[in-house]
Amino acid sequence: MGYVPAGYCTVNPFIISNQATQLNQFLHVVFGAQPVEQAYTVDTDGLVLHSELKLGDSTLMVVDRKPDWPWTPSFLQVYVADLAQTLQIAVAHGATIVTEPTPMYGELFSRFVDPWHNLWWVYQYIGMDSWEATDSADETWDTQSPELNYIHRTLMQTMPRLGQKA
């Protein structure tokens, strides 16, 4: 794809945070994201105007929220090599697990909320192609699956509280 510059994907997450520097450190420790030093820009008010981190083949951009900007949580999906280790590190650095590791369509799936109230969908690939086992003609929610019901329930419980102090 010649229209996408080197180092970027077609879609690149942009996270607006109340503490961009601290979030960048969290992303480095938890996911191994590497800062792109030449992209780091501080605005005249001392807030981070732009920063970038490389995470695998993706670029994450993180900025500080300006005082008159609304709070907007981010919702991000990340594949990791070792889900248990990633969650352990995330929790040790202030994250809260909202969906315990659950097998789902050849993947191990979990969610956590970071200290800045972003919701992370974290996956570890463990087997078949994710949707290989589904019947493409049946697009209804599998209400008989305890795993899928648990995943759905934890999302429904988390969303109304997202952004509230614990």
38 and 86 housed in the same domain: no
Boundary (domain end) residue, out of 72, 87, 115: 72
Distance (Å, rounded) from C-alpha 147 to C-alpha 103?
7
Mean pLDDT of 69-88: 95
Q: What is the pTM of this model?
A: 0.85
164 and 87 housed in the same domain: yes
> What is the Cα 61 distance to its own chain's centre?
12
Split into its structural domains, the chain has a count of: 2
Distance (Å, rounded) from C-alpha 166 to C-alpha 162?
9
**Tens-digit pLDDT profile for residues 11-62:** 889 999 999 999 999 999 999 999 999 999 999 999 999 999 999 999 999 9
- Cβ distance 108 to 100 under 8 Å? no
**Tens-digit pLDDT profile for residues 97-153:** 999 999 988 899 999 999 999 999 999 998 865 444 444 445 555 667 888 889 999
Q: pLDDT exceeding 70 applies to what percent of the chain?
A: 88
User: For all residues of the chain together, what is the average pLDDT?
Assistant: 88
